[in-house]
A and B are shown apart, each in its own frame.
Chain A
């Protein structure tokens, strides 16, 4: 349970970090960025990951901020999850992201774990990628060719893989304004408080004259990345925001899943069942939410 040996670098600036990553890449070094380390450290301890070098972003204070950027909420990648959970601005501006943050791990994990780290880690059981898919989320990254912005639907590629280049550093996540009338919910099922969920659902929708509009539902913990439940979304569009429709949508969402993952804790069929139940519950919760 001890990490295998690795070289360690803690660059002082973002430019230094990118230059270092570029040099290591040119040398053919198998390197890994470490932010809060709350996902990577267990992998190192279990030796599931054995990088030759770690590039630690802990000295990059410029990536630690939460700010309102003309209505867009911008969070620096090295901001801790607890800082996001404690932020009145985050809670007010992005209530779904805030609620998801409180579901991540335990206090000790949120104190150390970074906001950017969970997105870049792209664990399929993580709440964050699903939330990114149902909000208007953009990722900012800096690499040897400069800065670029990546929309959420182009960011998550597959199991623990994003479209970030190995020489790029995720610098910030940006959420477009969340309309005050928009409804939201996140529901997950975990064996114990703070565990990674076996399955979960994050969603947003408008209820306009009693009818569902612009429904976005994403499931996590079931496939290689968080996945939009488009069948459920389409079924609800323009339909009454009522329990019977939510029940139907849950069934449609569960049926749409390709091949939910299976492990000792939950079979594929059980995860599919959970997604149906959680989708129906989350829709009911969102529709009942008063602002």
Chain B
């Protein structure tokens, strides 16, 4: 049982080759094998969305994906949002700060990765489209209104800049 599997993944542009237990989730792989702690693990069964990452540019719950299923995939985590050269926050991150889109911050990485996918596909979303997109992420602090504000602000800023 539980023989180790060799996987090769690219995470935030860096290639990693690792031997992993088949039952290891992608979320635990990122956190414990690669020390990328920005991906948060909340419910561990696909309800809360805190562990949302992009797999081949598509949002996914990393607790509902086995690390072995990510073999040969490109993974993007919240650590990749910040500009690596200047250290500047991504417009989505800065907007969550400026519009009070977080209190405790636990759910925030998931919300931001979901927002990244939304705004890449739809730079000018309606409130309904934002609500639909964020429906898979839970926040227990903000009451969501300030998260809506943050996404609206991020959309505005990303449209008027070449970032993102």
Contacts and interface: CB of A to CB of B under 8 A. Distances in A.
B59 A7 contact: no
B49 to A, nearest CB: 7
Contacts of B14: none
Given A106-B49, A109-B61, A7 B68 contact: no
A54 interface: yes
A166 interface: no
Given A3-B23, A106-B136, A194-B136, A8 B5 contact: yes
Contacts of B49: 106, 108
Q: Kindly state the interface size class of chain B when it binds its partner.
A: 20 to 34
A112 interface: yes
A57 to B, nearest CB: 10
B68 A10 contact: yes
A12 interface: no
A82 B49 CA distance: 17
B116 to A, nearest CB: 12
Nearest to B46: A42
Contact of B64 (A10, A112, A194): A112
A111 B49 CA distance: 13
Contacts of B69: 34, 37, 56, 58
Count chain B CB atoms within 10 A of each CB in A10, A44, A107 and give the residue with the most: A107
Contacts of A4: 23
A112 B60 contact: yes
A45 B2 contact: no
A45 B63 contact: yes
A44 B64 CA distance: 10
B68 A8 contact: yes
A6 interface: yes
A41 B3 contact: no
A193 interface: yes
Contacts of A7: 1-3, 22
Contact of B52 (A3, A10, A34, A108): A108
Interface in A178-215: 192-194
Contacts of B21: 5
Given A6-B22, A56-B69, A111 B45 contact: no
B23 A5 contact: yes
A207 B133 CA distance: 36
Contacts of A58: 69
A46 interface: yes
16 contacts: A2-B25, A2-B28, A3-B25, A5-B22, A34-B66, A41-B46, A52-B1, A54-B22, A56-B66, A82-B58, A107-B114, A108-B49, A108-B52, A108-B136, A112-B58, A194-B135
Closest 3 CB pairs of A and B: A106-B136, A8-B22, A5-B2
Given A41-B65, A112-B60, 4 more contacts: A5-B22, A56-B66, A106-B135, A108-B61
